[in-house]
Amino acid sequence: MSPTAPAPIITPSGFSAYERAALRVRNIGCGGVSRGSGFAIADHVFVTNRHVVGGAALLQVSTYDGRDITVNAVGAVIIADLALVWTKEPLPATLQLALSNPPLGAEVTAVGYPLGGELTTTSGRVLRYDRDPLGSSPLQMMYNSAPIEHGSSGSPLVDSSGKLVGVAYAGGGGQYVAVPVAALTQALKDPANFSNGAGCD
- CB of 164 within 8 A of CB of 158? yes
Q: Which of 132, 153, 155, 159 is catalytic?
A: 153
Examine the residue annotation and report whether 51 is marked as an active-site residue of this protein.
yes
Alpha carbon distance 73, 39 (integer Å): 16
Q: Give burial (CB, 10 Å; 0-12/13-18/19+) of 138.
A: exposed
Please state, in angstroms and rounded to a whole number, the distance separating the CA atoms of residues 2 and 134.
Answer: 28
The phi, psi pair for 35, rounded to 5°, reads -130, 150
User: Which of 34, 37, 81, 123 is the catalytic position?
Assistant: 81
Please identify which of the residues 16, 34, 37, 51 carries the catalytic annotation.
Answer: 51
At 179, give phi and psi (nearest 5°). Answer: -75, 120
Annotated catalytic residue 44: no
**Does residue 153 carry a catalytic annotation?**
yes
Looking at the annotation, which residues are catalytic?
51, 81, 153
